[in-house]
Chains A and B, each alone.
Chain A
Amino acid sequence: MISAHLPVLQVVVPLVAAPLIVLLRRGLVGYVLAMAASAFVAGSALSLLADVWHGGVISYAIGNWPPPWGIEYRIDAANAFVLALLGVIAVVVAAYARRSVAAEVPAEQHYLFYAMYCLCLAGLVGITVTGDAFNVFVFLEISSLSSYVLIAFGRDRRALLASYQYLILGTIGATFIVIGVGLLYMMTGTLNIADMAARIGAVEARRPVLAALAFLTVGISLKAALFPLHLWLPGAYAFAPSAVSAFLAATATKVSLYVLLRFYFTVFGATFVFDALPMGGVLIALSVAAMFVASATAVFQADFKKLLAYSSLGQIGYITLGIGFASKAGLTGGVVHLFNHAVTKGALFMLAGAVALRLGSVRLDRMDGLAKAMPLTCAGIVLGGLSLIGVPGTAGFVTKWYLVLAALEAGSWTLAFVPVASSLLAVAYVWRFVEVAYFRPPSAEVARLSEAPPGLLLPAGALLVAVVYFGIDPSLTVGAAARAADALLAGIR
């Protein structure tokens, strides 16, 4: 009975939890409610993924108003995969947040932090499940506004400026998305994504449709931090509280990329975007630029969290490269990297938070000999780093395998070489940490430190187990991603 309402409940539960936490004004109650809401989202997401695993679409009419008149929540293999990712990451980050937030946020603000966390989760889940284009914008703003607040919780005053800059760029991005949706609404007369897809081919005036595509591409790219629209990201990730960095790095940009996939493949259709227009080439060019420029910038960062943030930009390039191929192998690689990068970077930001907790800083020049004092944390960072590089046996390798396959399928040896070459840059920035932490004698400051508490290590460890497990046996993630790719390519081709 209740399970029929899961599509809407997983948005409603965190959305209701947020004001409840604010009313109760207790940090511990806030934590319990946030954890419960995350666990509920994870449970329902996994059950929905199982429901749509063998094809099929779940359509939920809000308030029993049948689509396209009412708002529809629509779940297929593509968004069920993203949803499952969101749920799992939300639970793990919530588990990590207890200890981490206690150390980084003043006690009287804890309940506000957890309220914002629930709102952010509700927004991200909403973007993912909705089948209504205007709804995407509304949920995007719910998640964005709450993430600006989450970033501003950072202890460093630079967090405030990073949050402000993200607010300006994020709002420009969201407004561009509304303009695109508005143009599509004018031309098709509908806001329902499936209905829009059915009608867009019959639109005779192509110029507004082109303009809509342009506005949506730029707007979503801003939110997804696709190179060169990434300027907000490094500051936001570097100065946010550790739990927020881990959560946003693992989910926010991924959900934006899902929106890009949805508009490109379901609404506009791959024929229009990739065959009639050169968007594939544009995406591939920007992805290659992201992989090299952002990864090269990462090598020269003094701040470890900034290094990870720039590395994220390069990794987003892998995902958009897969999208740019617009083939089954390419999309599988891109979609599976949504997951692979989320668990890898989530774990790395958590461990960076563990270093920040003990050392009080994440500057690389203060980490001399850190591996002696914090062996588990450092080993975890190295393992995560190996996945960023794409060493066989880690999740990162699986992605690169599919991207290389897709490039060869597209007949381009140069592009097959690109993910491999950018891995060398990843080796360089991961090595910087290894060199400092393992091959330098511990400074007096570092020698006094003890290992990070289990409250931080266990959640990060759980994600690292996923990194290794899905690196050795990727049948589950790749299977889900291949189904997602099929669902996306099933649009008008």
Chain B
Amino acid sequence: MSAFGHFSYWITMFLLAAGLYIVIARGHLVKKLVGLSIFQTSVYLLYIAPGKLVGGTAPIISDKFTVYSNPLPHVLILTAIVVGIATLALGLALVVRIREAYGSAEEDEILAQDERAARDARAT
């Protein structure tokens, strides 16, 4: 029961770990950003889930309601979503520039090019 009662946390943890794994394990720069987005999204869930009460309503003072959900986490996460979008947009813009400069968006290939350039610089 307790394990099921915390199911939203299990989902959060799964998304968190999955996102982080993609960031580390994938070599393609865009795929890394996808992982980063999943990782950030898991945090939205972490904030939103405890704010919700079963049967709770928006915090409007009225005789008809006694149970309210906490609206503050939603506001906070709205900010975090905006930050997440800005990060993703900037990240993708950087990948476009990197691809223009290196002709590739694969991390291994880019690092190999840098290494070759460094070796040539030492040789001359």
B32–A168 CB distance below 8 A: yes
Q: How far is the CB of A361 from chain B (nearest CB, A)?
A: 9
Q: How far is the CB of A458 from chain B (nearest CB, A)?
A: 32
Instruction: Indicate whether A47 reaches chain B with its CB closer than 8 angstroms.
Output: no
B110–A161 CB distance below 8 A: yes
Bound together, the chains give a CA A145 to CA B85 distance in angstroms of: 11
Q: Which of A170-178, A410-418, A445-453 contacts B (4 or more CB under 8 A)?
A: A170-178
A157–B102 CB distance below 8 A: yes
Instruction: Indicate whether B59 reaches chain A with its CB closer than 8 angstroms.
Output: no
A-B contact count (CB 8 A): 68
Q: How far is the CB of B118 from chain A (nearest CB, A)?
A: 9
Give residues of chain A (182-232) contacting chain B, Cβ–Cβ below 8 Å: 182, 185-186
Chain B interface size, under 10 / 10 to 19 / 20 to 34 / 35 or more:
20 to 34
Contact of A161 among B33, B39, B83, B98 (CB under 8 A): B98
Chain A interface size, under 10 / 10 to 19 / 20 to 34 / 35 or more:
20 to 34
CB contacts (< 8 Å) of B90 on chain A: these are 145, 148-149, 167
Bound together, the chains give a CA A163 to CA B95 distance in angstroms of: 10
B76–A175 CB distance below 8 A: no
Bound together, the chains give a CA A420 to CA B98 distance in angstroms of: 43
A160–B36 CB distance below 8 A: no
Query: For the complex, would chain B's binding face be called helix, strand, loop or mixed by DSSP majority?
Result: helix
B101–A157 CB distance below 8 A: yes
- Closest Cβ neighbor of B76 among chain A residues: A134
Contact status of A179 and B76, CB under 8 A, knowing A141-B83, A164-B29, A167-B90: no
B36–A172 CB distance below 8 A: yes
Q: How far is the CB of A426 from chain B (nearest CB, A)?
A: 25
CB contacts (< 8 Å) of A307 on chain B: these are none
Bound together, the chains give a CA A138 to CA B81 distance in angstroms of: 11
- Closest Cβ neighbor of B12 among chain A residues: A179
A145–B98 CB distance below 8 A: no
B97–A171 CB distance below 8 A: no
Bound together, the chains give a CA A149 to CA B86 distance in angstroms of: 12
Instruction: Indicate whether A152 reaches chain B with its CB closer than 8 angstroms.
Output: yes
Instruction: Indicate whether B68 reaches chain A with its CB closer than 8 angstroms.
Output: no
Give residues of chain A (132-174) contacting chain B, Cβ–Cβ below 8 Å: 134, 137-138, 141, 145, 148-149, 152, 157-158, 160-161, 163-164, 167-168, 171-172, 174
Bound together, the chains give a CA A113 to CA B94 distance in angstroms of: 16
Q: How far is the CB of B53 from chain A (nearest CB, A)?
A: 14
Residues of chain B touching chain A, judged by Cβ–Cβ distance below 8 Å, are 20, 23, 29, 32-33, 36, 39-40, 43, 46-47, 50, 73, 76, 79-80, 83, 86-87, 90-91, 94-95, 97-98, 101-102, 110, 114, 121-122
Q: List 24 A-B contacts (CB under 8 A).
A: A138-B79, A138-B83, A145-B87, A148-B94, A152-B94, A157-B101, A160-B94, A160-B98, A161-B98, A161-B114, A164-B29, A168-B23, A168-B32, A168-B33, A168-B36, A171-B87, A172-B23, A172-B39, A175-B40, A175-B43, A179-B43, A179-B46, A182-B46, A186-B50
In the complex, given contacts A148-B90, A178-B80, A179-B43, what are 16 additional A-B residue pairs having Cβ atoms less than 8 angstroms apart? A141-B86, A145-B86, A152-B97, A157-B102, A158-B114, A161-B114, A164-B29, A164-B91, A167-B87, A168-B91, A171-B36, A171-B40, A172-B36, A178-B43, A182-B43, A182-B47
> Which 8 residue pairs are nearest across A and B when measured between Cβ atoms?
A157-B101, A141-B83, A164-B94, A160-B98, A182-B47, A160-B97, A186-B50, A171-B87
